Structure 1
C-alpha cells in the first residue's frame, strides 16, 4: 500500500482522536472523573469500539489528554515570555489558558502520572513561574499576588457554569455570547492583578500544595499524622 493510499485513513484516525479528546474534555467538565466511556464516545460522535482502539482504557485517554493540555500550557507560557511587554505577556497567558484551564481538574488524584508527564508538568510550571516573576520584576503585577494566586484565578475563570450549562442544553446559539461574557470577566479579574492602588489581599498566600496534593493518588499521598 502506498503512502498516498494510507493518508486518508491516517487523517480520519487523527480526526477521531481529536474528537475523542474534545469529547472527553466536555464530558469531564460536567460529569467529572466519573465520566463514562459511553458518554465520551457519544459526545465525540464515534463508536465505543473506535475509542478503545485508540485508548485501551479510560485512564489512557485521560493521560493523553493531560499530555496535550500540558503542551498547550507550555506553548502559552513560552509565547508570554516572547512578548516584550511583561504585562501583555502575563495577560495573554491568562486569557489563552482560561479557554482550557480546569478541564482536567476532575481527574486529579485518580490517575498515576508517568514520569514523562511529570517532567512536562515541571517544565510548564517553570515557564509559568518565569512569566509571573518577570511581571513582578517589571513592577506591573501587584506584589502580593503570587504564582499560585494567578493559577487559582485561571482555574476559577476556566470553570464556567454558564458555558457548561448551555453546552448541556445544546444551546449553540448562546455559546458565543457566553464566551464573550467570560472574556469580560477575565478582563475585570486581570485589572485586579495590576500593581496599582489595590488594598492588600486577605489572609496568607496559598501554597503549592493546593495543586500538588490534588494530583497525589492514594499510593503516593503521605500518611496523615496519627
Structure 2
C-alpha cells in the first residue's frame, strides 16, 4: 500500500512539473491566449488532469508566477552571498534570464496577486536593489543604471523569438547555432552594464543562415494549411 501511494505521489509530482514547464513554453509563444488544451497536449496529459490540479487557467498562471518570484529571490540572495559584487550581480541576471520571466509578462493583470506573491516580490526588489547598490559602490556597474533598468533588460533577454520560431518550425539543425547566438547576445547586452570595457564576446560569430534558413521549408515538412 505504501509503495503504491508513493508511486502515485511521484506520478502526480511528475505531471505537475510537466504541466508547469509546458505552460511556460506555450505562454512564451501564445501569450495570455494560450489554451488549456495546448498546455495539456504539450505536457502529455489530458485536459482533465490539468483541471484536477488547477481549477482555472488563471490559477495555473498564478502558480507559475509564484514559482518565478521564489526563483528570482533565491538568485538575488545567492548573488549577495558572493564576495565579488559584479559576479553576484551577473549571477542574479543570468539565473533570472534563464528562468524566463519575459514569457510570464503577458499574464500580468489577469489575476489578483496573493499576499505571498506580494511579499516575495518586495523581498526580491530589496535584494536586487542591494545588488545594484553594492555594484555601484564597487564602481563595477555603469553609472546611472538602476534596479528597474536591470529588471527590464532581464525581461527582454529572457525571450528568444528566434529560438521560439525554430522550435515551431522543428528546425533542429539550427538549434545549437541559435543557442550560441543567444548566449552571445546576452553577453553583449550584460557587458554593456560594466563600468569598464569588457573582454571578448564568447562563442562563435553567428552566420546569416539563422535568418535565411528560416525561410526555407523543412525537408519533407508539411506545409501549413491556410
Return the offset for 1:173: 4.2
Q: What is the Cα-based RMSD across aligned positions, in Å?
A: 1.5
Residue 210 of structure 2 is matched in structure 1 by none
Q: Does the CA-based 8 Å contact 1:73-1:124 persist in structure 2?
A: yes
Task: Give the whole-Å Cα distance in 2 for the aligned partners of 1:165 and 1:152.
Answer: 23
> 1 CA distance for matches of 2:68 and 2:28?
14
* Inter-partner Cα distance in structure 2 for 1:61 and 1:37: 10
CA–CA distance in 2 between the matches of 1:171 and 1:15? Answer: 28
Equivalent position of 2:94 in the other structure: 95
Q: SS at 2:66's partner residue? A: helix
**CA shift for structure 1 position 130:** 1.3
Q: What is the TM-score of this pair, normalised by structure 1?
A: 0.83
SS at 1:102's partner residue? helix
Task: State the partner residue of 2:58.
Answer: 59
TM-score, with length taken from structure 2 = 0.83
Question: 1:202: which partner in 2?
Answer: none
The equivalent residue for 2:124 is 124
The 1-side partners of 2:22 and 2:12 are apart by: 15
For residues 183-220 of structure 1, give each alpha carbon's deviation from its aligned partner in whole angstroms, at most 9, with x where no partner exists: 1111111211011379xxxxxxxxxxxxxxxxxxxxxx
Whether the 8 Å CA contact 2:28–2:103 is kept in 1: the answer is yes
Tell me the distance in 2 between the aligned counterparts of 1:95 and 1:176. Answer: 19
What is the Cα deviation at residue 168 of structure 1?
A: 1.5
1:211 corresponds to which residue?
Answer: none
C-alpha separation in 2, matches of 1:57 and 1:42: 16
Alpha-carbon distance in 2 for matches of 1:130, 1:190: 18
Contact conserved, 1:143 with 1:195, CA < 8 A, in 2? yes
Tell me by how many angstroms 1:178 deviates: 2.0
Q: Secondary structure at the match of 1:104?
A: helix
| Corresponding residue of 2:104 | 104
Q: Which has the higher contact order (CA 8 A, sep 6+)?
A: 1
Matches within 5 A, 1:6-21: 6-21=5-20
Aligned residues: 197
